Amino acid sequence: MADWLSFFGWSFLPSLVTNWIQNIYYRIVYRAGENIPKPGQPKHKLHQRRIYIFVVVVYLIYTIVEVIHSIPPNYYDLLGVNQDFTSKELKSNLRKLQLVFHPDRNSEQQAESNFILLRQAYDTLNDPVKRFAYDRFGPDINYWTNCKTKGDYILLGRNYSTGFYLGTGLILFILNILGKGQFGRFWRFIVFCGIACIETSLILNPQSNSSFLSYLFQNFIIFERIKIFRQLFITIFIALSQVGPVLFPTDNTQDIRPNLHNFEILCNIASDEIKNQLRSGFYPFQNDQNAQSELRKKMEKLVVDNYLHQNDQEFVQAYNQAQQRTRKKK
The pLDDT averaged over each successive group of 10 residues in the chain (330 residues) is 51 79 85 76 85 84 81 90 90 89 79 87 92 91 88 87 80 69 68 80 72 66 85 75 66 58 75 70 67 74 70 69 70
Q: How far is CA 303 from CA 183, 283, 284, 297, 306, in A?
A: 52, 21, 22, 10, 5
Q: Give exposure, 265-293, as e/b (b: 16+ Cβ within 10 Å).
A: eeeeeeeeeeeeeeeeeeeeeeeeeeeee
CB atoms within 10 A of CB 127: 12
For the 83-126 domain, the top CATH level (class) is: mainly alpha
Q: Give exposure, 159-175, as e/b (b: 16+ Cβ within 10 Å).
A: eebeeeeeebeeebeeb
pTM for the model: 0.61
Residue 120: per-residue pLDDT: 92
CB atoms within 10 A of CB 205: 9
Q: By C-alpha distance, which of 99, 96, 153, 89 is closest to 126?
A: 89
Backbone φ/ψ region at 40: left (φ over 0), alpha (ψ -120 to 50), beta: left
Residue 5: per-residue pLDDT: 47
Which spans in 205-312 are helix H? 212-216, 222-247, 252-282, 289-311
Return d(Cα 228, Cα 230) in angstroms, integer.
5
The domains of the chain are located at 1-70, 83-126, 150-247, 259-328
Q: By C-alpha distance, which of 60, 63, 65 is closest to 217?
A: 65
Residue 165: per-residue pLDDT: 80
Residue 2: per-residue pLDDT: 46
| Residue 9 identity | G
| Residue 75 identity | Y
CB of 51 closer than 8 Å to CB of 21: yes
